[in-house]
Structure 1
Amino acid sequence: MTAFSGSAESSAPAGPVRLPANQPRQFYRGGAAIAALRGHGAAREDGPEDWVASTTPRFGKDTDGLSTLPDGRLLRDAVRADPRGWLGEAHVAAFGDSTALLVKLLDAGQRLPVHFHPDDAFARRHFDSHFGKTEAWIVVGTSGEDPTVYAGFRHTQSERVVADWVRDQDAPAMLGALNSIRVRPGDTVHIPAGLPHAIGAGVFVVELQQPTDFSLTLEWRDFLAAPENGHLGLGFDTALRALDTTGWDAERLRTIVRDTAEDRASTVELLAGGARGFFRADRLAPGTGPVALDPSFAVLVVLDGEGTLRTARGNHPIGRGETLVVPHAAGELELSGTVTVIRCRPPAP
């Protein structure tokens, strides 16, 4: 039996906290898979993203996108009031009172536009942010005949050619220049900052990101109201400096794409190695024996089944469709039952 330890000094909760859906309005369609997972019935067509345990507002907004705890506080404010309780001493020493993580459920009811995100240095210079927006996708569901994601240019492109595509809004050229990757549940894709990408219709993912909302959108027509929304006020000449225009052949793609569907271990590390400096994700399936979890701030997405999270202070039943945030102060946990959980965590400090 695992020896449990918690924190008696912290004001953070001593166990996992269930979170309701948090679906800020988006510019594209989707949300049916989120509603089906959560068991909410009819889906909101403008709710393709569920921001889970979010301390990150939407770009240009004050509170839109932030998660609210059951006691009515914003999670952001609760973490700021007790960062060591929520995040742990080592995390605070490395990242301050930022969770260093944003998790979403993303259900693409239509293809997303071709876009990319800035790295830390670009975000610091142009957005006064410590974080850029590296991200990763864990495919948890698909629909339709050809569930596809797109990542990286197949061949190196000149900056002038890309600028011409953006000026002319040549969507076929942009999409056609990208690698298309057919996906199934269990596949994961790490998207380094700068990499052009898109998610195709019918792909449902758990998405991990650095905690920002910086999306630079090459293909803005038919998606965004104005080109300014594509370059976030920087102008495309500046925004395109953050774009990776190099070619990604099959060998390079293997460094960011993984197939984990056939791995039946009780704990499966899901993401390619390059993601570890930005976030961590595991699939937990205890099956016949409990899984011990070290103390850590974590976001849990329950994909299937029923189970129990045991802490030093009691048992917490969990089931399909629930999303939970776990404070560091909860201490060591033990997961048991016929349950499948995606555990998302910040990078190791």
Structure 2
Amino acid sequence: MPESLEPIFLPANQPPQFYRGGAAIAALRGDEAREYGPEDWVASTTTRFTGGPDGLTRLPDGRWLADAVTADPRGWLGDAHLRRFGDSTALLVKLLDAGQRLPVHFHPDDRFARSHFDSHFGKTEAWVVLGTTGDDATVYTGFRETTSAATVRDWVRDQDAPSMLEALNAVPVTPGDTVVIPAGLPHAIGAGVFVVELQQPTDFSLTMEWRGFLDSPEQGHLGIGFDTALQVLDTSGWDAERLASLIRRGHNPDPDAAGGTTELLAPLADGFFRADRLRPSEAPSDAVTLTPGFAVLVAIDGAGTLTSDRGGSAIARGDTVVVPYGAGPLRLSGGVTVLRCRPPA
């Protein structure tokens, strides 16, 4: 097994964005804050929609991660993954710190993305809430009532942001909550919400509320026109029962609670990605075993050790790590809490 196929610790990767944020990312990583650094694309083989290298992860040895995976897809991804997804990692993970409210937007599903963006993947996503600031940390998910397509077109034409936002469910969140956002669902993230975001590996955001955020409506509809883009928007009503299928509450660990592995996302995420919290106890005999497979690790608290057959590395709050399939089984030990993000099973 090549020696290079070991877990790799990654620096921050913050492509330019149109909105403010990043203080919470800097605090987690121990870096200097940037006013417009609200997203850290972790272990990314995905570029910005505008093209070029923005968004791609460069490994510490100078290679692009995308090139490393293409050069050794079996070593990075394993045969079962290759049979389903080819040499795509099938995953993009971000740290996202909303320094201001994000605009109301939605994403295409796989079928729409194939037809209009020549992509195998749309963009279903999910959020694991790491932190919040202020007294009213809120995300917005789905229309409260079924809304006619004509009404939505009027809102977009007039850039009636208050009506768009008022039509959505306002969902208060606290650290440890998780929310799945299916493709097509209108949504926004409120100011002061800091999440780990898992998503399909694309940068397709169809932005209904573009004025005040983007330079032109073309950036909002990605060049396909709003009449076409809105065809994939979910205009149905999401009542409390439907919302409950997207949201899980309160998975932040009590420091005195037992450790182990906790699945974090609602079952709707299963066909797109997986996320779990790994929290070994500090006793060496209580290490958590990670089975072989491509994964992205985000250490969110404490410090511990990540060990493979070829040795161990310290892992502590703020570290982000990409794990190739070829690294084999790993052991996580010590007083550390890690989010493990993976493609679908």
Q: How high is the sequence identity, in percent, across the aligned residues?
A: 71
C-alpha contact (below 8 Å) 1:12/1:329 kept by paired residues: no
Structure 1 residue 262: Cα displacement: 5.9
Structure 1 residue 310: Cα displacement: 1.0
2:52 is aligned with 1:62: yes
Could you list the per-position Cα deviations for residues 84-125 of structure 1 after superposition, in whole angstroms to 9, with x for gaps in the alignment?
Answer: 000011001110000000000000000000000000000000
Report 1:250-269 matches (<5 A). 250-261=240-251, 264=257, 265-269=259-263
2:179 is aligned with 1:192: no
In structure 2, the partner of 1:135 is 125
Determine the C-alpha separation between the residues in 2 that align with 1:125 and 1:255: 28
The counterpart of 1:79, out of the listed 66, 69, 82, is: 69
2:272 is aligned with 1:278: yes
Determine the C-alpha separation between the residues in 2 that align with 1:266 and 1:202: 29
In structure 2, the partner of 1:321 is 318
2:33 is aligned with 1:36: no
In structure 2, the partner of 1:301 is 298
Structure 1 residue 292: Cα displacement: 0.7
SS in 1 for 2:48: coil
Determine the C-alpha separation between the residues in 2 that align with 1:227 and 1:282: 38
Aligned residues: 338
The counterpart of 2:85, out of the listed 95, 109, 114, is: 95
In structure 2, the partner of 1:210 is 200
Structure 1 residue 60: Cα displacement: 2.1
AA in 2 matched with 1:273: P
Structure 1 residue 61: Cα displacement: 1.0
C-alpha RMSD over aligned residues = 1.0
Indicate how the Cα distance of structure 1 residues 256 and 115 shifts in structure 2: closer, same or farther if over 3 A, else same: same
AA in 2 matched with 1:305: G
How does the TM-score come out when normalised to structure 2? Answer: 0.97
Could you list the per-position Cα deviations for residues 127-170 of structure 1 after superposition, in whole angstroms to 9, with x for gaps in the alignment?
Answer: 00000000000000000110000000000000000000000000
SS in 2 for 1:267: strand
How does the TM-score come out when normalised to structure 1? Answer: 0.95
The one of the two structures with greater contact order (alpha-carbon pairs below 8 A, sep at least 6) is 1
Report 1:233-252 matches (<5 A). 233-252=223-242
Determine the C-alpha separation between the residues in 1 that align with 2:323 and 2:129: 22
In structure 2, the partner of 1:344 is 341
Structure 1 residue 63: Cα displacement: 1.0
C-alpha contact (below 8 Å) 1:307/1:339 kept by paired residues: yes
AA in 1 matched with 2:339: I
Determine the C-alpha separation between the residues in 2 that align with 1:137 and 1:249: 20
C-alpha contact (below 8 Å) 1:141/1:205 kept by paired residues: yes
Indicate how the Cα distance of structure 1 residues 167 and 12 shifts in structure 2: closer, same or farther if over 3 A, else same: farther
Determine the C-alpha separation between the residues in 2 that align with 1:183 and 1:12: 42
Determine the C-alpha separation between the residues in 1 that align with 2:203 and 2:124: 11
In structure 2, runs of 5+ residues without a counterpart are none
In structure 2, the partner of 1:4 is none
In structure 2, the partner of 1:3 is none
Determine the C-alpha separation between the residues in 2 that align with 1:276 and 1:306: 29
Determine the C-alpha separation between the residues in 2 that align with 1:130 and 1:139: 28
Determine the C-alpha separation between the residues in 1 that align with 2:252 and 2:15: 34
SS in 1 for 2:140: strand
C-alpha contact (below 8 Å) 2:175/2:252 kept by paired residues: no
Structure 1 residue 13: Cα displacement: 2.7
C-alpha contact (below 8 Å) 2:5/2:76 kept by paired residues: no
Determine the C-alpha separation between the residues in 2 that align with 1:318 and 1:15: 14
AA in 2 matched with 1:57: T
Structure 1 residue 12: Cα displacement: 7.0
Determine the C-alpha separation between the residues in 2 that align with 1:311 and 1:35: 29
C-alpha contact (below 8 Å) 2:274/2:342 kept by paired residues: yes
Indicate how the Cα distance of structure 1 residues 344 and 12 shifts in structure 2: closer, same or farther if over 3 A, else same: farther
